[in-house]
Structure 1
């Protein structure tokens, strides 16, 4: 079995969706004749941690850890809260930013290009150059964000002529928060130059969304393949559904993800239907902004609202299965059309109906359409959104489970790992 080196910043005990993708690929790639070796920082700054994920690291997998010069460790001395917020990609609108946040954003955007982990590039290239030669590894994979990791792949390819796959979990210059980094003209040009060099140099480009793939195909002649995120169909126990009509959202709901039309529709249903009023539980798990909470209260839903703090991945899976209806919400913007949240695939596996609110022509619409798992609505939809929720509520009152029957296995982590293994093996004898 031949080895492949995976260069990733996020690795257990990191929490959140960023770590899941390659943790699962590492789990299943050996089933397809590929032995993964992982390279990751020894002293990273993770905004979220989930120590339960350490138990999912396969026994025997080689994980190499090297120290990183982490600027966020320094910025925490000035403001731990702002450091965690910015490093998570959570950036307030201009008129709501403090002077400290504005200063930190300017430094982050203009002194650390493409991101705060760029100082890890040079020492990593020096270390990995020798490691790859000594261990006869000829294929490497970089996964971003942070996109500075792609610069490690770029340099190693130049020095060793290794085969290099660049995996983009999110866009680079088109990512939602990019324009909030207070970039100078010079810094903005540098980002685009680096992105283009990576796209034109990597042997294979992988994206998690269809929109990002099309964007990249306009910039490079290199092959671009979509391999979405997915769900793990092992280790999931049967869970009884809530007695309440629980509408659940798992993950951050910040100011930009505030579908006032959805809260209004739920408020109207509550006023129009006494049973709905008694049965409804709106469960939001994770960081929720004050603007979202205020929008919910204004719609008259305060007594139906249940707020829960960040939970472990396994706890999140249980909450998804217990819910009667799952919410998926994305910022209403052109640049978010290509964002497919990782949780949509776990929602599929939970087998509960999905109501999504997001931008026009959102990639998620394609996945929900293929699987029959739910429907996407816009931020101005009213009556059709109300009718969709009512349909799920009627099923609930009639004792229907609401389990999806259409095939979703194309999005299982194991099947997706087979697709990734096929890309890795291109050119292997």
Structure 2
């Protein structure tokens, strides 16, 4: 069986979409002739942990974990945060209009100036050393696959290709220098990072991303030609995750949101619309129940104390993945939040596809972009601009009345949905590995001749 070295910071026991994407690839690659060897970190400062995901790693898959110096531990000390408070790129302020303290500004300036490509760059020497050891001990490794962010993973993979000649496939789960969460770097730092990204993109044998928009933007930014080098493998769902699910039902009009809430994934406009409806419509106030499952940042928590809606809100802390699915299956309406930030139109989270698999209606509060287009294309529910309180309120009232009359349902295109099966998506990745391997063999034969 051919071997592939997977380099990923996010991997179980880490929870969240980045970890799950890589986990599912590792889980199914053996079915398509590729033996995954995973290089990741140990004792990482993960913002979400889900130890239940460890049970999905096939026993045949070798996992190698190395030390990483985690800068967010220092960040907590500098900013006065609790040492057990989750911190990641989504909760670190990116501008000075969000009311952060002076020491938070200083910590962010330090991060934006010195950490290239990201705050996990300290892992680079440890990852590179271990990767070379793995390759030398396993002659069958014929492709390197890295998944980012953090983009330190791509940096390490590119250096490996330079040293060993093994072809490299780069996976962009999010944009890099074009991301909506990209830090405000000094001009010289940004220029250096963009040069690094461009160089790495040119070195990669294939560049994979979750949607075409990300790839198109990259090509246009760096004037790179379109071709077979650029491949889309979206996020998806694993049917095995949905076996033996016992939904958590409620007699209320239950609206479920799963995932993190923070300064970016912020429900304030949605909650304001619900608050207004609760004041204006007593039956809605009586029947509606809002369930938020997952991690809530401290600056979001005060929103739930609004007296108009406080009695309608039920907060559930982060749960193991399969437990979380019990809530989504029992929902009358699933809430999807896509923030209106610059370049947020490319966001296409794993949550969308797991929502899709439940067959429950989705209310997407999203700007025009990839997520909104998918919801409409597959007839999955309703799309409203995330900051238009009046339209959110009107749509909620319509949906509520459909629920009261027992007519709230969606009829998605089942054949279209099957394309997002994780096993099918892994098959596509395996075909990419086969292509780059074949090209590498031909190139080596040409050099020898």
Matched with 1:392 is 399
Task: Tell me the distance in 2 between the aligned counterparts of 1:224 and 1:233.
Answer: 27
Tell me if structure 1 keeps the 8 A contact 2:32–2:430.
Answer: yes
Q: Which residue of structure 2 aligns with residue 148 of structure 1? A: 152
In structure 2, the partner of 1:58 is 58
The residue that corresponds to 2:125 in the other structure is 122
**2:112 and 2:183 in contact (8 A); partners too:** no
Q: Distance in 1 between matches of 2:248 and 2:277?
A: 25
1:417 and 2:426 equivalent? yes
1:227 equivalent in structure 2: 233
- Unaligned stretches of 5+ residues in structure 2: 439-449
Which of 353, 368, 374 pairs up with 1:367? 374
User: Which residue is equivalent to 2:199?
Assistant: 197
CA displacement, residues 253-272 of structure 1 (integer Å, 9 cap, x when unaligned): 22344455533443344344
1:425 alignment partner, SS class: helix
Conserved 8 A contact 2:247-2:328: no
Matches for 1:22-421 after TM superposition, within 5 Å? 22-78=22-78, 79-81=80-82, 86-92=87-93, 93-95=95-97, 96-136=99-139, 137-180=141-184, 183-218=185-220, 219=222, 220-221=224-225, 223-236=229-242, 237-239=245-247, 241-258=249-266, 260-288=268-296, 300-359=308-367, 361-381=368-388, 384-400=391-407, 402=409, 404-407=411-414, 408-421=417-430
Residue 325 of structure 1 deviates from its aligned partner by 0.5
What secondary structure sits across from 1:138 in the alignment?
strand
* Deviation for aligned residue 1:172: 0.8
**Farther off after superposition, 184-193 or 215-224:** 215-224
**Stretch deviating more after TM superposition (205-214 or 382-391):** 382-391
> Counterpart of 2:447?
none
- Secondary structure (helix, strand or coil) at the match of 2:183 reads helix
Q: 1:416 Cα shift?
A: 1.1
Q: Following TM superposition, where does structure 1 have runs of at least 4 consecutive aligned residues deviating by more than 4 angstroms?
A: 73-80, 82-86, 289-299
CA distance in 1, matches of 2:64, 2:278: 54
- Measured after TM superposition, the shift of residue 211 of structure 1 is 2.1
Deviation at 1:143, TM superposition (A): 0.8
Q: CA deviation at 1:334?
A: 2.6
Structure 1 position 76, deviation (Å): 4.8
- Which deviations, in whole Å up to 9, do the C-alpha atoms of 1:329-367 show, x marking residues without a partner? 1221232111112111111112111111122x2210222
Aligned to 2:445: none
In structure 2, what is the Cα distance between the partners aligned to 1:260 and 1:184? 31
CA RMSD, Structure 1 to Structure 2 (Å): 2.5
Is 2:11 the partner of 1:11?
yes
Q: Is the 8 A contact 2:339 2:386 kept in 1?
A: no
- Residue 252 of structure 1: how far off its partner (Å): 2.1
Asked if 1 retains the 8 angstrom alpha-carbon contact of 2:288 and 2:312, the reply is: yes
Aligned equivalents of 2:47 and 2:361: distance in 1?
30
CA distance in 1, matches of 2:384, 2:359: 20
For residues 44 and 17 of structure 1, the distance between their equivalents in structure 2, rounded to whole angstroms, comes to 16
Structure 1 position 291, deviation (Å): 6.2
Runs of 5+ consecutive residues of structure 1 not aligned to the other structure: none
Is the alpha carbon distance of 1:381 and 1:319 closer, same or farther for their aligned partners in structure 2, counting shifts above 3 Å?
Answer: same
Which has the larger displacement, 320-329 or 300-309?
300-309
